Structures are given as C-alpha cells and as structure tokens.
Structure 1
Amino acid sequence: MFGRIAREEWRLWLRSKVVVAAALIVAVLLAATSFLTIDRIASEQSQRMEQQIAAEQTFFAQPDRHPHRMVHYGHYAFRPPPPLAMFEPGVDAVTGQSIFLEGHRQNTAMFADTKAAADLGGFAALTPASLYQLLMPLLLIVLGHAMFLRERESGTLAVMLAQGQSGVSLAAGKATALLAVIAIFMLPLIALSAYSVSLGESALAAVTLVGGYFAYLCVWGAIVLAASILLKQRTVSLGALIFLWLFAALIVPRFAINASSAAIDAPGKIESDLVMLAEQRKLGDGHDAADPAFQQLEAQVLEQYDVDTIEELPINWRGVVASYSEAELTDLLNSYADERMGLEASQSRMFDLFGLASPTISISSASRILAGTDLATHHRFLRESEALRFNFVQALNQAHIEELDYAIDINRSTNEETSRAARINAGAWQVLDEFRFAPDSASDRVGRAALSLGLLLAWLCLAVGIVLLSARRVKL
C-alpha cells in the first residue's frame, strides 16, 4: 500500500509542469555550483600549497644578512581549503587565507576570497551547502504542500478511509514519496562527499555530513506533510509553509547574527589597536637597547654573567633586548587576540543556540564544523601561524645573541665593511619550521558539531511526532 500511494504521488508530480520545472531548476543549480566549486577549491588548494612551499624556499634562500633584517623580512602562512570546502566553504570566503608573519607584529589574515566573485559571476553567492539549506526545502514545499489536500478535494480520501486505510498508513505512503525525492537529491552530496574522501577527508566526517543533511531534509519533509494534513486549503497550506520557510531559513538566522553581536560586544580592530598601542609603549622599544624600560633586564643580565658593563658580556646585548622585547610584546598581543577570539567564539555559540528556533541554523553550523571551515578552525589557524611566527623570530633573535659580536653590531652602520661584518651565515635561516595547516581530526569535528546535530535530531523527532499525531486524527 505504501508503494502504491508513493507511485501515485510520483505520477501526479511528473504530470505537473510546475513541479518538474522546480525540480529541474534545483538540479541544474546543484550541478552547476558543485562543478564550479570543485574546480575553484581544487585550484585554490593547489595554489596555496605551492605558495607555502615557495615562501619557505625563498626564506631559506636568503643570503648572509644581519639576523634582525630577517626578522623584518618575514614569512607567509597559508591556509589551504579542506576537501569538504568544495561543498561548504563556510567562513573561508570572508576571513582571509594567508598571513604575513614578521617581528613585533601580529598581522591579520588577508586575501579573502573576492576573486571567486569575479570568476563565478552570479554563482558566487551560491554554494552546494546553501542550495541544500535554502532551495531544497522550497522544492519539498512545492511538491508536498497539497499531498493530503489533493485527496480531500478529489474525494479519494473518503474512499480510502472507508476501505479501512488509516490516516497513519496514508501518511506513511506520502512520506515514502517525499523520502524518495530526498534520496534522489542526496546523490550529489553523496558524490561530493565520496570525492572528498578520495582527496584525504575522513570518512567519518563525510558520512556525518551526509547524515546531517538527510535529517535536515527529512525535518522539512515532515513539516510539509504535517501542514498538508492539518490545513484545509491548498493556498493556506502553501502560504503557511512559505512563511515558515522565510522565518526559519532567512529571518531567524539574520536575527540570530544581530542578537549575538548585540549581546556579546566585541571591540573593533581600530579600538583594539589604540588600546594595544598604549600598552606597547610601556614595554619599551626593542630596537633601542638603551630604552629605560630595559634597565632592570640589564641589571639582571650583568649580574648573571658577573660583569660590570654590557660591553664585557660574552653575548650580544642588543640581541638579548630584541628577544626579551619580542617575548613581552607577544604575551601582550596574545592576550588581546585570545580575548577577541573568545568573544567571537561566544558569539558563535550563542548563534548556534538559535537552532532551537530554526533547523536551518543547526544544519548550517554543523555543516561548517564538519567541513572544517568554521570559526574555530580559523582561530586555530591564527594561533598556529602565530606560534610559527614567534618561534622563528625568537630563533633569529637567539642567533643575534650568540653569533654576532656586540661591538661589530653597534658599529655596523659605519661603512660597507662593518655592514658586511655584521652579517651571519645564511645557514641560520634553517630555523624556520615547515607549516602545513590541516583541519581538526574527524572525531574532534563531530564532537564540536554534537550540539547542532542534537538540535537537528530533536527537530526531526518533533516534526515526525506532529505528523503521527495529526495522521491519527484524519477524518472524512
């Protein structure tokens, strides 16, 4: 009986030009955005890996120089997109993908993905994930808003009930038809996920992502079916479902963003930079070894080596100041960075809680986390690139301390000969560590997505429960 009811629904859908046109539009958009996104992500991944390797080779290939010149020469860290970014680019398009690393500064990520807008034209704002989150529910609404109402209007509902069919069995048949549609349109996501696994993605993350979107579409399928059972007119059912889609998919997410930003105020970059600048001045200028801020350090170092003047030290005092100043400044910058990232993470967690009001928020949050393109992953990129920066800068400062004579150092600007004498061997540049950023392990990502996936399952149970209760009350 379930199969016969489902086949009848499909027969009616295939005879409807509106339904066929809507399904074809969604299918074409899914195919186009999938192919374009796959091509773009593959190109970006290759380019960024090549750029990372080239940056390291360029750093290692620098000639003999003063070590502090190399501190300012700097280095680059790149964040290649993970395999599942071909489905869910997440925050990558707006956060920037590379950072210039240099002494005395923590630069922000740069080169957000504006080039994609020019390359993809009108498809720039579309991703496979956004199509599944926004257009697929609309397609289910077009298909299913009149599933039960059609039976009422044609009189077949009364006949089937009179023949002993229950409302639950009829609802199960209709649900089977919708599940078949959902299964067909899940195929592109399954193909993308399988391809991402072939590129190195974890099967656990890919399967969880597929399962999450299947549950999300089933939530909308159950909502559509419940509306078709409970409401008495096609226009009312269609209007109510469209309003619910607008509310859940567009209004609530926008309200959640604004509410999270208003409830947890994160200071802007200019405001933070002004506060940090005042704090930095108290630390002293690392380029000026005679700065009064380093008098206590000077006394400690002289006592440690049991000498009376910095000229008698067996190490380079200017390098000591540079190393000490960098450590103090980094602690200060990290404290502000951690505070900012903590506020942003709190905003993100508050946004996720709005999944109680919209399944779209739940699936979008879970999607970004599982794909490795969420805010937490970007924050980890910032922290790891900062650790890379600090390590190579301090290693160069250590070479400044140990390999360069203080007397030669302070006279390096006298003439060309003294300038050449103040250079150290280029072998010291090998202190730079290899940097290859990768997303978190699949188990960590699934754990972070547990809240959003749990809310999604709660939505599914609620929607299915409403369908069962309403189906049991179906009357002539």
Structure 2
Amino acid sequence: MSINNFSKVVIVAKDEWRYWLRSKLAMTVLAIGLVLTLASVIVTAITMMELSHTRHELQTSAEQSFVDQPDRHPHRMVHYGHYAFRAPSPLSTLDPGIDAYTGNSIFLEGHRQNSAMFADSRQGTALTKLGSLTPAFIVQTLAPLLLILIGYSTISRERESGTLLYLLSQGTSGATLIAGKGLALISVVGLILIPLTVSALFTLGSGEGLLAVASFVFGYALYLTVWVLLILLASSVFSKNSGSFTVLAFVWILLCIVMPRVASTTASTVIPSAGKIETDFAVKAELRKLGDGHNTNDPAFKQFKASLLKRYNVDSIDQLPVNFRGLVASESEERLTNVLNKFAEQRMQAELKQTQVSRYFGWVSPLVAIRSLSMIVVGTSLETHHRFLRETEQLRFDFVQGLNKIHVEKLNFQDDINRNTDSAATKKARVSAQNWQILQNFTFDIDEASVRILRSVPAFLQILLWFSVLLGSMKFVGKRLL
C-alpha cells in the first residue's frame, strides 16, 4: 500500500471515529465493553490469587497434619489419608477453563481412587453461575456482539445515506474505504484487549512464559479480527443497516450460542461413555477377583503366600523375617491400583476423544476454536486436568505403599495379629510417629509453554482459516463495492 493510499485509509478511520463519538449508542456500547472487560480482569485476578494462596496453605496444613499424627498402626494411617491441592496457573486469572467444573483437590487414601472435589461451579447457585463473567467469556462471547453493535452499519450506512457513490466518485476506492472502516474497528479491538494484555503481562512475574502470554494475546487479537472482517463483509454486502444487523445478529447467535452446544452434544453422542453406576459395578466385579487385602487367608493370596515361603526358604508365615500381613496389604494395593488405573485411563481417554470431537467444530465456529486455544495455552484444559489426576494417583500409591513398607518392616507379625486382644496388645501393635515422614512435597505445575503452544496449533490453524477466507472475501467484495 502506498503512502497516499494509507493516508486515505487513516482519514476514513478518523471519520468513522468522529461518527461514533457523535453516536450515543456506539459510545455507550464501547464504554460497557471496556468496563466489563476491566472489571472481570480485576475480579477474576483477585479471586485466583486468593485461591492460589489458600490452596498452598491447605497443602502445607494437610502435610503437617499427617506427620503430626501420634503413634498408630500403619494401616490406620492408610485410611487416615492425605489431601492434594492444585494451585491455579498464572494465566487462569483470565481463563479458568474447566477448573471451575473439575475440582481442585483430591482426598488420597488406601484401596480407592477419589475424584477431584470442591469445584466452584458445583458449589455455586444458578444465580452465581450466570454471574460468572470471566475475561475469557467476555472477550469470546460478548466482545463480538459489542463489535456488531458498533460496526454493523459501517458500509451500509454510507450506501443507505447515498454518500457511498459520492466517496467512490471522488477517487476513494472500495478497498480503501473498507480498509479505513476496518482500521477503525481494529482500534476498538485494541481498546478491548488492553486490560487483557496488561493482565497477561503481569503473569510473567508469577512464572508464566513469555511465549504463552504472546500466544494468548495474539490468539484473541486474531479472533476479534475475524469478527471485524465478518462485520465488514455483512455491512458491504447488504444495502440497508437493518439487513446487515439482522444477519450479523443471526451469525453471532449461531456461532457463539448454538454451535458450542452442538459441538458438546455431538461429542457425547459420537463418543459415548459409560455412566458412573455402570462403571462402579464393573470396577467392583474386577476387584472381587483380587481378594481382600485385610484377610491374609483369602484364597486369592494363596499363590503369593507360597512364593514368599519359597523365597525365604521357610515352612510357615510365622517364620518369615517380615510381617506377612503388611506384605499382603502391599500386594493387594498394587493389584487394586492396577485395576483402578485401567478404568481411570479408559474414562480419561473417552473424555479426551469427546473433547477432540468438540474441538473439530472450531472449523465452523471461531468461538469453539478460541475457547480451545485459550484453555490449552492457559493450562486449564482437559489434558492438564488429566495430568493432575495421574500425578495425584502416583502420590497416593507411593504414600500408601510407604506405609505398607513400614507395616512390613517395623511391626512384628505376632503383635499385629494379636492387636485386638486387649489394650496393651493394641498399644504394642503401633509404630512410632517418626515413621510418618514419608510424604513427598506435592506441587502441581502446568506443562511448559512450548508444550502448550504445540498442543494449541490446530486451534490456531482454525482461526487462521477463518481469517484467510474472510480476508479473501473482503478483497473480492471491495472490488465490486457500489
């Protein structure tokens, strides 16, 4: 573009801004958009910082509570359990993603895998859910509507008032006119993105990577630019403001309201998953085959018992140099964990496939694409939640097996089997509280920025396709603008 043409584009953009400044509707809509975005950024950031501080304190408290327990039987500590908390990622101040629905803490105990608890949306009322306006929701869903209200008449207004023919006859090309109107709308996008960008930059001080921040902001800028092109295209094609607004309102409802729900419904239909009751019955059926780890005489451990006697070259479990009950508990926990992990992986794979199906709808809805991109880059996507579940399960297994090892090595077998005969025997079947120093310091960190960016590439491509197709359409329309 030559300097002369660029100056014309700037003049057109300034003229559009003068029109908006005279329009109460445009200024009101712009003010509402800025206030909503700024307020949501501040409120969500404060909430996430409080959650992060609280969860760090709770994690430390849970670990301290565990090690402060008095002398006990090791298996009592297995059932006493332990908590693991997930602190929010730095960029989750802008997009909490699925964290509000999946839970942020897990109670870890022997013989079972518990699900994540204390999800914010599960605890909130219907009113609080409707009032949860996060920065991501505002920019993804409300910002396009605000842009439509401001810009639906950018070109059609000129045609309807009869000034379009005059502008074209004065040497202003259709492409220059559209570019100028587009520049004005892009500047509105810039204003909307200022609070988001500043807040994203602040997360650099919390350990977030510059690559992730840049990708996050660029993704949203590209997404809103897609809407700018859609608005310009509709306003250029239709001769009346009413026609342009009606079509744009319909497109917004279709792409931002209908398609995301169609995507989730299609995903659950195409990739059906077993219900909780069905899964629970299947798990219990598998666990019955493993035997009861609390019963050393269970037939399921007959072969295990024989292998131990052969390994230590003894004739009975009383002659073993270690506690047979502890060995059975350890063996039972390992078998049980393998079964539970198998079902957990099946469930997570089904959830991931459903998510991938829903993400395909990003090719037909830019909102689906930016929602996927945003959650992935921020670190609040399903993949991150699944990694949290896997890491906490490994933590659970390690601390339970650590207690079982204490049971095997620190407690005499005879004292163990006689522990319920009287109070003295009960006291004798306890081990020192010094043995509870087995917990690993648990801190969950999201994936590296490079991993998240690589995972978000398909969503970037979806938005780029929308941008390319609309830009090509605008060039075609600009040559035929009358």
- 2:31 aligned with 1:24: yes
The residue number in structure 1 matching 2:55 is 48
Tell me the secondary structure at the aligned position of residue 100 of structure 1. strand
Identity of aligned residues (%): 46
The residue number in structure 1 matching 2:5 is none
Asked whether the equivalents of residues 117 and 124 of structure 1 are also in contact (C-alpha less than 8 Å), the reply is no
Q: 1:359 aligns with which of 366, 370, 373?
A: 366
How far did residue 206 of structure 1 move?
1.1
Asked whether the equivalents of residues 160 and 239 of structure 2 are also in contact (C-alpha less than 8 Å), the reply is no
In structure 2, the CA distance between the partners of 1:272 and 1:181, relative to structure 1 (3 Å rule), is: same
Q: Name the aligned partner's letter for residue 276 of structure 2.
A: K
How far did residue 20 of structure 1 move?
1.3
Tell me the secondary structure at the aligned position of residue 88 of structure 1. coil
Question: How many Å separate the matches in 2 of 1:35 and 1:184?
Answer: 16
How does 1:385-396 map onto structure 2 within 5 Å?
Answer: 385-396=392-403
Q: 2:313 aligns with which of 303, 306, 311?
A: 306
Question: How many Å separate the matches in 1 of 2:328 and 2:374?
Answer: 47
Q: Deviations over 1:12-71 (max 9, x none)?
A: 111111111111222222122222111111111100000001101111111221111111
- 2:280 aligned with 1:273: yes
How far did residue 121 of structure 1 move?
4.5
The residue number in structure 1 matching 2:4 is none
- 2:463 aligned with 1:456: yes
- 2:159 aligned with 1:152: yes
Per the normalisation by structure 2, the TM-score is 0.96
- 2:383 aligned with 1:376: yes
How does 1:308-457 map onto structure 2 within 5 Å?
Answer: 308-457=315-464
The residue number in structure 2 matching 1:60 is 67
How does 1:200-219 map onto structure 2 within 5 Å?
Answer: 200-219=207-226
Q: Deviations over 1:183-228 (max 9, x none)?
A: 1111011111012112221111111100000000000000100111
The residue number in structure 1 matching 2:144 is 137
Asked whether the equivalents of residues 363 and 456 of structure 1 are also in contact (C-alpha less than 8 Å), the reply is yes
Asked whether the equivalents of residues 372 and 459 of structure 2 are also in contact (C-alpha less than 8 Å), the reply is yes
Tell me the secondary structure at the aligned position of residue 257 of structure 1. helix
The residue number in structure 2 matching 1:89 is 96
Q: Specify every segment of 5 or more residues in structure 1 that has no aligned partner in the other structure, as ranges.
A: none
Count of aligned pairs between the two proteins: 475
Asked whether the equivalents of residues 44 and 81 of structure 1 are also in contact (C-alpha less than 8 Å), the reply is yes
Q: Deviations over 1:236-284 (max 9, x none)?
A: 1100000000000010000000000011011122211111011111100
Tell me the secondary structure at the aligned position of residue 391 of structure 1. helix
In structure 2, the CA distance between the partners of 1:208 and 1:390, relative to structure 1 (3 Å rule), is: same
Asked whether the equivalents of residues 36 and 120 of structure 1 are also in contact (C-alpha less than 8 Å), the reply is no
Question: How many Å separate the matches in 2 of 1:115 and 1:304?
Answer: 52
Q: Name the aligned partner's letter for residue 308 of structure 2.
A: V
Q: 1:253 aligns with which of 257, 260, 263?
A: 260
Asked whether the equivalents of residues 121 and 129 of structure 2 are also in contact (C-alpha less than 8 Å), the reply is no
Tell me the secondary structure at the aligned position of residue 155 of structure 2. helix
Tell me the secondary structure at the aligned position of residue 56 of structure 2. helix
Question: How many Å separate the matches in 2 of 1:38 and 1:441?
Answer: 22
Per the normalisation by structure 1, the TM-score is 0.97
How far did residue 124 of structure 1 move?
3.4
RMSD of aligned Cα (Å): 1.4
Q: Name the aligned partner's letter for residue 188 of structure 1.
A: P
Tell me the secondary structure at the aligned position of residue 314 of structure 2. coil
Q: Name the aligned partner's letter for residue 82 of structure 2.
A: H
Asked whether the equivalents of residues 116 and 124 of structure 1 are also in contact (C-alpha less than 8 Å), the reply is no
How far did residue 153 of structure 1 move?
2.3
Q: Specify every segment of 5 or more residues in structure 2 that has no aligned partner in the other structure, as ranges.
A: 1-7
- 2:39 aligned with 1:39: no
